[in-house]
């Protein structure tokens, strides 16, 4: 492993936000043995480790990362017919997420189509419990296999043990930070129905007169919507949606609706909480479009997205995020939370 380790590797080109100083140590994991060797290395050196996929949901600090950045590239996808109505799709952490979704759609398997065109690797999907257009990844995950850095062993967690919630999982908390995801098993179905109840999807299907879209049409619809609303990573540095939609109590929602009766909202979970549209608040209450600090700006077509016109200016990303957070708090009393993680030294 040590002969594969590089020193002072720039990270800005390895993240979609295009920011970040160098990694003190850097290596690529193409096998589980590479992961084990990397963990042994950091334990010997007594330094931190950070597992990097496509870098699509992090903001890496300008001063870089003081330990080892391990880029996950373990490949592999397999499909297993469990029953006539159920197929298990097993994907290794280093696979491109959208390429994996495309494979499931080509096989006629329903369950992940509304999560099309989300950037990143498959290994990142459970960490964030990625979701879009009325679907969350936790709905189809059966189990997650990982390498435990404390016990130096490979183990699994069931869906329930992953403790999924809105854009959250055990892997983002102290009890899960020592777990490196290796592969994920999804439970998919060959005979499904399109999920078109989400507002943007409903508008698209009505406009194009698609009453009962096929599986492949659903993927095309989601890709078209995402392309129309979110910045192109080939053109700008971005992580896509930068903030989570707030989930508030019903009483807080009623209070906000008195002030802002047009605010989009819907019941969440058991119905005791309400998810509200942060994009609407940023647009109509906080007037965030056009806001900019240095090379970092709010995207003109989607106020949830921040875009980077330059490089290596993570401090400006954090500064603009903090300004928006403070403005939302001032106008609504809501505390909003960024979707990406801030990593390394700023």
In sign, the C-alpha dihedral spanning 30, 60, 174, 247 is: negative
User: What residues act catalytically?
Assistant: 167, 241, 339
- Strands (E) across 149-283 are located at 153-158, 179-188, 237-241, 247-249, 265-268, 273-276
C-alpha to C-alpha distances, 262 to 148, 214, 259, nearest whole angstrom: 48, 33, 9
Instruction: State the Cα–Cα distance between residues 197 and 201, nearest whole angstrom.
Output: 7
How many other CB atoms are found less than 10 A from the CB of residue 272? Answer: 9
Backbone angles phi, psi at 21, to 5 degrees: -80, -165
- Strands (E) across the chain are located at 6-10, 22-29, 49-52, 58-60, 65-72, 77-83, 86-92, 131-132, 135-136, 141-148, 153-158, 179-188, 237-241, 247-249, 265-268, 273-276, 292-293, 296-298, 305-308, 341-343
């Amino acid at each position: 492993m040590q002969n594969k380790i590089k020193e002072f590797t720039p990270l800005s080109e390895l993240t979609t936000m295009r920011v970040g100083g160098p990694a003190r140590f850097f290596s690529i994991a193409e096998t589980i043995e590479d992961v084990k060797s990397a963990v042994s290395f950091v334990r010997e050196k007594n330094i931190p480790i950070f597992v990097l996929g496509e870098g699509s949901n992090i903001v890496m600090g300008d001063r870089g990362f003081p330990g080892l950045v391990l880029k996950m590239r373990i490949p592999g996808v397999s499909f297993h017919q469990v029953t006539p109505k159920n197929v298990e799709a097993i994907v290794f952490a280093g696979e491109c997420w959208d390429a994996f979704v495309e494979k499931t759609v080509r096989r006629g398997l329903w369950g992940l189509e509304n999560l099309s065109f989300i950037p990143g690797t498959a290994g990142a999907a459970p960490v964030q419990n990625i979701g879009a257009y009325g679907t969350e990844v936790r709905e189809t995950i059966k189990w997650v296999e990982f390498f435990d850095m404390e016990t130096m062993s490979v183990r699994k967690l069931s869906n329930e043990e992953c403790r999924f919630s809105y854009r959250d999982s055990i892997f983002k908390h102290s009890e899960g930070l020592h777990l490196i995801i290796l592969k994920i098993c999804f439970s998919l179905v060959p005979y499904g129905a399109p999920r078109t109840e989400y507002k943007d999807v409903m508008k698209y299907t009505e406009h194009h007169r698609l009453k009962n879209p096929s599986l492949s049409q659903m993927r095309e619809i989601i890709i078209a919507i995402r392309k129309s609303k979110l910045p192109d990573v080939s053109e700008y540095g971005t992580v896509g949606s930068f903030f989570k939609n707030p989930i508030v109590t019903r009483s807080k929602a009623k209070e906000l609706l008195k002030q802002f009766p047009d605010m989009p909202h819907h019941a969440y979970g058991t119905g005791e909480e309400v998810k509200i549209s942060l994009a609407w608040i940023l647009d109509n209450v906080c007037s965030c479009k056009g806001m900019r600090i240095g090379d970092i700006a709010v995207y003109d077509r989607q106020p949830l997205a921040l875009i980077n016109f330059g490089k290596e200016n993570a401090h400006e990303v954090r500064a603009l995020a903090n300004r928006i957070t403070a403005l939302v708090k001032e106008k609504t009393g809501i505390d909003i939370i960024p979707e990406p993680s801030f990593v390394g030294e700023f």
